Chain A
């Protein structure tokens, strides 16, 4: 009899532990966005990134662990981009001025590592905000990082010269404190729309 009770207690404990773990990792239902927010896409369940290793604007390694612990905003582009990338970076700088989004990582990652060296990236990101992170690296590592996020790009013009432009997917991404992509906002970007969308999504998942 005592053994039966023991087994019962063991099973109940195991069940509770299992339930606890699934609760921790259970994906909350997808939030319903306010109808007026257009071009905002929520990834539910979130997109998990494979292992990657890039370099930040100071030449230090930046990998999956670097995304742990904080929410992040992420934008892909190239520093020779005169119009859209500076506009989206200016919007990121505008988000950074909002008190409730201050403690985020703000990350720019290049799709053009040939021209975007560590020094070039540092010059670019620090112009918009000295606290921003800029990423470059080996093409194969950038590919690991960008592909699961749906970042596609294409070079136009003579890539053996310095004069070519890059057509690229230009969304601003939201990554959760486990480095998983939760949502993205399509361009063209402006602070009020991106702020409202990101705040809504981030607060929803924070409160789950």
Chain B
């Protein structure tokens, strides 16, 4: 009985940890077969009452995973590495083309549309958050859902 309670407690704790950082609409843009880098886009929401700090990221499918930010100034495109992404309570971080993205460097193999890519976000607290994303082919600028509206 005691063991069961402990198990239940562990389960509740585990769910709780996962719930702090909510991941939505994660996808990876399909890239040419020889591409050395891919970009993942997603939406993160901090559902914790404390600030969450994402300090690094990793994946078994890539040599390196980094958070990057694209910015435009007078027609110049610049990509900068974000060392850590701090999110205050209830803050939403939208990663989309032309802005924040997760850069996946040196894939272990070629990923095609429909493949799944898993990464881990490492938080300053020591916790890790797993993100699962599907590779989308020839991705349009806007998420797929938005495109359906026009075709009707």
Across the two chains, which residue of chain A brings its CB closest to B97? A87
On whether the beta carbons of A86 and B141 are closer than 8 Å, the reply is: no
On whether the beta carbons of A84 and B31 are closer than 8 Å, the reply is: no
* Residue A64 interfacial (CB < 8 Å): no
- Minimum CB–CB distance from B86 to chain A (whole Å) comes to 22
* Residue B34 interfacial (CB < 8 Å): yes
* Residue B131 interfacial (CB < 8 Å): no
Interface residues on A, range: 20 to 34
Across the two chains, which residue of chain B brings its CB closest to A170? B77
On whether the beta carbons of B77 and A86 are closer than 8 Å, the reply is: no
Binds A, one of B7-15, B35-43, B116-124: B35-43
Across the two chains, which residue of chain A brings its CB closest to B96? A83
Across the two chains, which residue of chain A brings its CB closest to B139? A90
Interface residues of A in 97-119 (CB under 8 A from B): 119
Binds B, one of A11-19, A29-37, A43-51, A183-191: A183-191
Given A80, A81, A87, which contacts B98 in the complex, CB threshold below 8 Å?
Answer: A87
On whether the beta carbons of B140 and A90 are closer than 8 Å, the reply is: yes
* Residue A124 interfacial (CB < 8 Å): yes
On whether the beta carbons of B98 and A82 are closer than 8 Å, the reply is: no
On whether the beta carbons of A80 and B77 are closer than 8 Å, the reply is: no
On whether the beta carbons of A120 and B31 are closer than 8 Å, the reply is: no
* Residue B75 interfacial (CB < 8 Å): yes
Interface residues of A in 13-70 (CB under 8 A from B): 39
Given contacts A79-B32, A163-B64, A188-B98, 17 further A-B contacts (CB under 8 A): A81-B37, A82-B103, A83-B103, A84-B77, A84-B97, A84-B98, A87-B98, A90-B138, A91-B141, A93-B138, A127-B31, A127-B33, A163-B105, A170-B72, A170-B76, A170-B77, A187-B77
Ranked 4 nearest A-B pairs via Cβ? A127-B32, A170-B77, A82-B39, A82-B37
